[in-house]
């Protein structure tokens, strides 16, 4: 018979709130943005008042840890499901302030109408209406005197039955006696099992990731500065997207502004660059993998818990060292020089806008390569070349699109064993062989996804070559990507529709070029044999119809830059499928030349 891996115990809400206040139970989300709308808090209070169930909470007890003096400390409970509900109760009943998703500190005030027995989010109209109690937290204050509150309300609302009113307010105060089921998971469960349990018990909830567990573990630790570390991660990621958030941090979190972390992220307030906007998952992956030489975030959770991988025991000294190393990795990640250099490397390789950044995990590992290269003392020029080549290779081979953690872990362990440069160069040579360029890549470019890595790398190659836009005399592909551009169909879409081609065929990436809107509009639905003939005439002194090129040599060069056979100008218009097959090979050849130039 299988051993039960959990216990289920009903606890009064009052007990749960006491646990949180005394830090017996760790609620990491209190230190992160509260994402519930105020109306959802109101609905939770209404359900409790009416005796409706509000779901289970799931806790996972930290493992017992051996302290430096040899004694043992029982681990805290970590609340892994129910964080928003507990935060809502603390905000509404205890008057706690919360951080909104915009990182503003607010009080959520829930009003109560005792006569109609209904709840509402406080607003100016309610504030002026004596029939409402504007903030139920006043009722739950330790100093609250129910009889006084009743008499004061009755004085403002003549004719109210004081006994009935008292009974209603007493009923409201007793919601803290309502029981909530707490599922406590065994401390010896691993992250994968806990995640599986979470998904099965709460399939409607957002899936938990290993990064979520790591962030919970970080925030729950105050001994080694985990609470500040978690804030640093959250604040950095938010600042990277919204630099104006800097003033809110400075205004509302004076304690954090004194930390090392704050000084390391001040530079973000003046940055408006969206090449790489990391999430906390990205930040953890890069900092952990580069600093610890491991790629699985479950190992980070174990190390922050103090796990000794040899003895299978948990030791405080290991937890302390792991927090110190993670802090070092986070500070290195935040470093302006490092962050700027990564963005510069991506740009110099042609990835000049966020629309071309494909595969966030490829960017993450490129950053890991950069940070490890700095640690190994690789010369700046060699490191920049290595980072850009690895990034492009990982996109073309979709190296981190499947199970990124497994691939991260494999790659970083090989780097540890073989050295960064020798391992990466060996992998690049194996992955991008002659057969890949000539056979596999053209086959893989048989796709209609304009967001495919092959098309983004192709566009980067055009930026790197400083190519002009399709049929453009002066406007470059770079200009088009940074401003408004059209993806033009070489064989026009409606022309192909009339021939019976479906969306998956007429939208092939081998039928795409970047063009100015006016050129795209001018070509319209004209058959390629029509407008290519007119282009040839245009270059021999005829009417200027498409773009600004009037020289035949310049026109042929423009087609070559876009991997389009120049023979189309001579009237050799192939069948559409033949055109696609030929152009894929030309595009693959252009990408190869680009890669070899990096």
218 pLDDT exceeds 90?
no
Least confident span in 8-12, 133-137, 367-371: 8-12
Retrieve residue 132's tokens. 């409402």
Mean per-residue pLDDT over the chain, rounded: 89
1 pLDDT exceeds 60?
no
Q: Is 183:201 a contact under the CB 8 Å cutoff?
A: yes
Tens digit of each residue's pLDDT (9 = 90 or more) over 408-455: 999 999 999 999 999 999 999 999 999 999 999 999 999 998 889 999
75 pLDDT exceeds 70?
no
pLDDT-based confidence at residue 323 (cuts at 50, 70, 90)? very high
Query: CA end-to-end span of the chain, whole Å?
Result: 61
355 pLDDT exceeds 90?
no
Q: What is the DSSP letter of 480?
A: H
**If you average pLDDT over residues 531-540, what whole number do you get?**
94
pLDDT-based confidence at residue 130 (cuts at 50, 70, 90)? very high
Retrieve residue 194's tokens. 């806990």
Tens digit of each residue's pLDDT (9 = 90 or more) over 561-578: 999 999 999 999 999 999
pLDDT for res 196? 67
**If you average pLDDT over residues 368-388, what whole number do you get?**
97
CA 66 to CA 86: how far, in whole Å? Answer: 30
pLDDT for res 140? 93
Q: Is 509:449 a contact under the CB 8 Å cutoff?
A: yes
Which has the closest alpha carbon to 406: 291, 277, 298? Answer: 298
Retrieve residue 353's tokens. 């806008």
Dihedral, 371, 375, 378, 381 alpha carbons, nearest 10: 30
**If you average pLDDT over residues 299-320, what whole number do you get?**
89
245 pLDDT exceeds 60?
yes
Tens digit of each residue's pLDDT (9 = 90 or more) over 35-61: 788 999 999 999 999 999 888 888 887
Partnered with residue 182 across adjacent β-strands are 9, 57
**If you average pLDDT over residues 470-498, what whole number do you get?**
91
Q: What is the DSSP letter of 259?
A: S
pLDDT for res 198? 65
The helix/strand/coil state of 229 is helix
pLDDT-based confidence at residue 384 (cuts at 50, 70, 90)? very high
pLDDT-based confidence at residue 208 (cuts at 50, 70, 90)? low
Which has the closest alpha carbon to 293: 322, 314, 313, 267? Answer: 322
Tens digit of each residue's pLDDT (9 = 90 or more) over 585-595: 999 999 999 99
138 pLDDT exceeds 80?
yes
Angle between helices 360-376 and 420-431 (to 10 degrees): 140
The helix/strand/coil state of 452 is coil
200 pLDDT exceeds 90?
no
Neighbour tally for 507: CB within 10 Å:
18
Tens digit of each residue's pLDDT (9 = 90 or more) over 165-188: 999 999 999 999 999 999 888 877
Give the torsion sign (CA, 109, 112, 118, 123).
Answer: negative
Q: Is 58 left (phi over 0), alpha (psi -120 to 50) or beta?
A: beta
Domains of the chain by residue range: 6-201, 229-299+327-432, 445-597
Which has the closest alpha carbon to 327: 284, 278, 294? Answer: 284
Neighbour tally for 276: CB within 10 Å:
19
pLDDT-based confidence at residue 210 (cuts at 50, 70, 90)? confident
């Amino acid at each position: 018979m299988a051993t039960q891996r959990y216990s289920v115990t009903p606890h009064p809400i009052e007990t749960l709130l006491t646990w949180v206040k005394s830090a017996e139970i760790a609620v990491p989300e209190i230190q992160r943005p509260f994402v519930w709308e105020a109306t959802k808090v109101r609905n939770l209070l209404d359900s409790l008042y009416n005796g409706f169930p509000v779901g289970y909470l799931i806790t996972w007890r930290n493992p017992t840890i051996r302290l430096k003096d040899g004694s043992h400390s029982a681990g805290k409970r970590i609340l892994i499901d129910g964080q928003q509900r507990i935060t809502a109760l603390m905000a509404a009943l205890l008057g706690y302030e919360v951080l909104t998703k915009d990182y503003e500190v607010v009080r959520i005030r829930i009003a109560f109408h005792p006569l109609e027995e209904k709840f509402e989010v406080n607003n100016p109209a309610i504030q002026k209406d004596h029939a409402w109690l504007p903030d139920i937290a006043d009722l739950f204050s330790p100093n609250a005197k129910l009889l006084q509150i009743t008499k004061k309300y009755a004085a403002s609302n003549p004719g109210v039955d004081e006994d009935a009113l008292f009974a209603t307010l007493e009923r409201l105060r007793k919601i803290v006696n309502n029981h909530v089921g707490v599922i406590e998971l065994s401390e010896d469960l691993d992250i994968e099992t806990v995640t599986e349990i979470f998904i099965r018990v709460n399939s409607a909830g957002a899936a938990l990731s290993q990064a979520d567990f790591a962030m919970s573990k970080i925030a729950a630790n105050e001994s080694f500065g985990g609470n500040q570390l978690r804030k640093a991660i959250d604040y950095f990621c938010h600042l990277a997207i919204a630099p104006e958030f800097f003033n809110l941090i400075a205004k509302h979190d004076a304690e954090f502004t004194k930390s090392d972390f704050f000084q390391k992220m001040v530079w973000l307030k003046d940055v408006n660059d969206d090449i790489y906007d990391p999430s906390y998952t990205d930040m953890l992956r890069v900092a952990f993998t580069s600093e610890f030489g491991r790629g699985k975030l479950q190992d980070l959770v174990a190390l922050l818990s103090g796990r000794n991988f040899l003895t299978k025991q948990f030791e405080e000294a290991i937890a302390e060292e792991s927090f110190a190393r993670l802090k070092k990795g986070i500070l290195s990640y935040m470093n302006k020089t490092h962050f700027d250099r990564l963005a510069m490397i991506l740009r110099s390789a042609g990835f000049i806008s966020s629309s071309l950044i494909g595969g966030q995990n490829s960017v993450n590992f490129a950053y890991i390569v950069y940070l490890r290269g700095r640690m190994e003392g690789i010369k700046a020029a060699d490191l920049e070349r290595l980072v850009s080549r690895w990034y492009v290779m990982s996109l073309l081979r979709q190296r981190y699109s499947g199970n990124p953690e497994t691939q991260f872990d494999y790659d970083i362990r090989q780097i540890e064993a073989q050295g960064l440069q020798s391992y990466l160069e060996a992998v690049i040579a194996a992955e991008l062989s002659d057969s890949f360029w000539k056979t596999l890549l053209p086959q893989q470019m048989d796709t209609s996804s304009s967001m495919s890595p092959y098309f983004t790398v192709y566009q980067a190659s055009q930026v790197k070559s400083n190519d002009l836009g399709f049929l453009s005399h002066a406007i470059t592909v770079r200009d088009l990507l940074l401003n408004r551009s059209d993806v033009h169909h070489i064989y026009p879409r409606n022309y192909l529709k009339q021939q019976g081609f479906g969306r998956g065929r007429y939208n092939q990436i081998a039928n795409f070029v970047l063009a100015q809107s006016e050129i795209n509009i001018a070509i319209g639905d004209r058959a390629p044999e029509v407008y290519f003939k007119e282009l040839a005439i245009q270059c021999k002194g005829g009417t200027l119809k498409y773009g600004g090129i009037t020289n035949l040599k310049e026109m042929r060069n423009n087609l070559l830059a876009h991997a389009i056979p120049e023979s189309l100008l001579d009237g050799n218009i192939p069948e559409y499928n033949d055109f696609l097959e030929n152009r894929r090979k030309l595009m693959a050849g252009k990408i190869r030349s680009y890669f070899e130039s990096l």
